[in-house]
Amino acid sequence: MQDRLRVLIPWRVVLGLLAVATPAVCPAAARAVRISNRPPFSLHSTNPCFYAPGSGSWPVAPTGRTHAIRGSFNEPRGHAVHFGVDVQAVQDRASVYSMASGTLVSVSPHRAHFSIRGGDGTYIYWHARLLNRFSLGAQIGRGQLVARIVPGYFHVNVAESAPGCGLVDPRRPTGALHDPRNQEHPWIGPLTAYRANRRAFATHDTTVKPSQQTDRSTSLELNDLHGVVDFRASITDMPIHRMRLLPQLPLEAAAIRGYLAPATNRRRVFGHIRRAFDGSGLLAPTVGLWHVWAFGTFRQNTCYRNPDWICDANYVWHVGGPNGWDVNRLQNGRYQYCVQAITINSVKETKCTPIVVRHH
């Protein structure tokens, strides 16, 4: 009998430890949460405007060859977003060519930006001075020399407006600036959690590094989540086709989403998929930029103007959605929070992180 007790006691100790390590169910806090199969994630399923019709050639020579992109669509720029893409030019005052045939419909007073409207939409060119021989209403052919880049800029900013979609990314699969070489996976950083209150979604200046700011968010431990949780993760896309002469900063992912899954099945979803970012159109300030970008998001490209200055960037997203995740709806226990990102070339990445819900 004593021998049997010596065998049983250790197992009882082990079971007791497991009971402490595994949170108990809290019926008062838990509610029924729908669980379903994970819906598909693709550019088209996110938004058909990722495939808005488009055609054309590149705006710098050689126009039939892809060029490096130094600034992507919807990038953070201070308290706003980048409404186009920056195509690198490796020569100062490089020639700019019309990407598609159309009519010259606008010219700035200082002739540093202009628009050409064609059958598939309108291209807007910035940091480029239109040649004097063109005036409003002029008919311009695809590949025709139309401007020169402003001295010292070494890039032309191209924006595209497509019928029915508004401003779209010219790098999309159907866009003129599609670069099939960029088949890299997006990078998804470690998951973090914060209390989803007003401080978590506070305005911040994305031209300043986080070390020079104060994050007033209240952090939470991933193994002790309760209340409404603001999940965050850094997500970037470093293209394979990189810039020459200057450092390449990471670009934006095309779309991002997050979801809560059972602890052992990343293809099942509790509740709804949380859309963190849909880059098919311009991210307008009215949607609340700070409910999309979290503290830690910044972009500094001052080394493009002076090699002794800084070039660095990081894009941190509220991957739990613009209002956070109310884990009070769940029973205490173990889950995983999954983050998915997709590039403009339809390359996906998924990262799932174990979490624990504990109602206090």
pLDDT average, residue stretch 238-253: 96
Ramachandran category for residue 261: left, alpha or beta (phi over 0 → left; psi -120 to 50 → alpha): beta
Distance of CA 109 to the CA centre of its chain: 34
Whole-number Å distance between alpha carbons of 81 and 16: 54
Who contacts 16 (Cβ-Cβ below 8 Å, separation ≥6)? none
Q: Is the pLDDT of residue 335 over 90?
A: yes
Whole-number Å distance between alpha carbons of 88 and 60: 8
Whole-number Å distance between alpha carbons of 17 and 8: 15
pLDDT average, residue stretch 219-223: 98
Q: Is the pLDDT of residue 5 over 50?
A: no
Reported confidence tier of residue 9, pLDDT bands at 50, 70, 90? very low
User: Beta-carbon neighbour count of residue 67 at 10 Å?
Assistant: 22
Distance of CA 153 to the CA centre of its chain: 25
Q: Is the pLDDT of residue 235 over 80?
A: yes
Q: Which helix (H) or strand (E) holds 46?
A: helix 43-46
pLDDT average, residue stretch 119-142: 95
Cis ω for the linkage preceding 62 (within 30 of 0): yes
Top-confidence residue, 211 or 50: 50
Per-residue pLDDT reduced to its tens digit, 258-298: 999 999 999 999 999 999 999 999 987 666 799 999 999 99
pLDDT average, residue stretch 243-268: 96
Q: Do 147 and 232 touch, CB atoms closer than 8 A?
A: no
pLDDT average, residue stretch 109-132: 92
Q: Is the pLDDT of residue 79 over 90?
A: no
The radius of gyration computed from the CA coordinates of the chain, to the nearest angstrom, equals 25
pLDDT at 287: 64
Q: Is the pLDDT of residue 14 over 80?
A: no
Top-confidence residue, 339 or 25: 339
Per-residue pLDDT reduced to its tens digit, 26-47: 444 456 788 999 999 999 999 9
User: Beta-carbon neighbour count of residue 121 at 10 Å?
Assistant: 24
Domains of the chain: 35-46+183-357 (no CATH), 49-168 (2.70.70.10)
Sheet with 128-130, edge to edge strand ranges: 95-97, 145-149, 128-130
pLDDT at 20: 40
Query: For the chain, how many residues are written?
Result: 360
